[in-house]
Chain A
Amino acid sequence: DTGVSQDPRHKITKRGQNVTFRCDPISEHNRLYWYRQTLGQGPEFLTYFQNEAQLEKSRLLSDRFSAERPKGSFSTLEIQRTEQGDSAMYLCASSPPAGGLAGELFFGEGSRLTVL
């Protein structure tokens, strides 16, 4: 089991450009989450997928953000027209179907975005 994989690990972009992050969850996990973490803060929930269905989206996720999980396996998070305030670590996590309240999240190593 290779764990949750995120790509790229680091991305530097200029303001106004679009960026896309990819997350490959643990293979048998049907739940997938995206979080954003800024320096010195805890992860902030962005969105959640169960299989291919996006079941919740945070108000933090403006219209410039979109996430997909087309076949219920990997997921992408796209940020359009990036702003300097988007600079953060974007964390992906997955959990197995039977977890319920008790199921812990398995996190990837994150994708760090720097917007110049």
Chain B
Amino acid sequence: AQKITQTQPGMFVQEKEAVTLDCTYDTSDPSYGLFWYKQPSSGEMIFLIYQGSYDQQNATEGRYSLNFQKARKSANLVISASQLGDSAMYFCAIRGTGGFKTIFGAGTRLFVKA
């Protein structure tokens, strides 16, 4: 079984600054994938970034990067140069070896201040 823990219910960041959203996970699977999704107030979940457990390098996608520390079982999302449009809920998620069931954390609400 997999589990995701997001300990920050809410985060504030000033526009143009960087912010880190925390995610820790628990799994007994030897290989797994970690995901981050964004959910704006409109409700639709949007995929942001993926990190495989055997990937040697941290994933990056534009302003998003994933700080993957396998030994600590953490997969923090870093958003650089925050924009007002980044205000949303952010969910960390994990998929195990079975390859189909994705488990989500409770999310972190990010507020970007002008």
Contacts and interface: CB of A to CB of B under 8 A. Distances in A.
Decide if A and B are genuine partners: yes
Interface of A: 31, 33, 35, 40-45, 48, 50, 55-56, 89, 91, 93, 100-102, 104-110
Interface string B86-114: 00000101010101111111110000000
Closest 5 CB pairs of A and B: A42-B104, A104-B47, A107-B45, A101-B33, A43-B104
Contacts, number: 60
B43 A89 contact: yes
12 contacts: A35-B104, A56-B100, A56-B101, A89-B43, A101-B33, A101-B95, A101-B99, A105-B47, A107-B44, A107-B46, A109-B43, A109-B44
B96 to A, nearest CB: 8
Given A91-B45, A105-B47, 12 more contacts: A42-B4, A43-B45, A43-B91, A44-B104, A45-B103, A48-B101, A100-B99, A101-B33, A101-B52, A102-B52, A104-B47, A105-B102
A104 B101 contact: no
Nearest to A93: B45
Contacts of A93: 45
Nearest to A109: B44
Nearest to B104: A42
Contacts of A43: 45, 91, 104
B61 to A, nearest CB: 11
B68 interface: no
Given A42-B91, A50-B100, A110 B106 contact: no
A40 B33 CA distance: 24
Contacts of A110: 43-44
Nearest to A108: B44
A33 B76 CA distance: 25
B103 to A, nearest CB: 7
A40 to B, nearest CB: 8
Contacts of A104: 35, 47, 50
A54 to B, nearest CB: 12
Contact of B45 (A31, A41, A105): A105
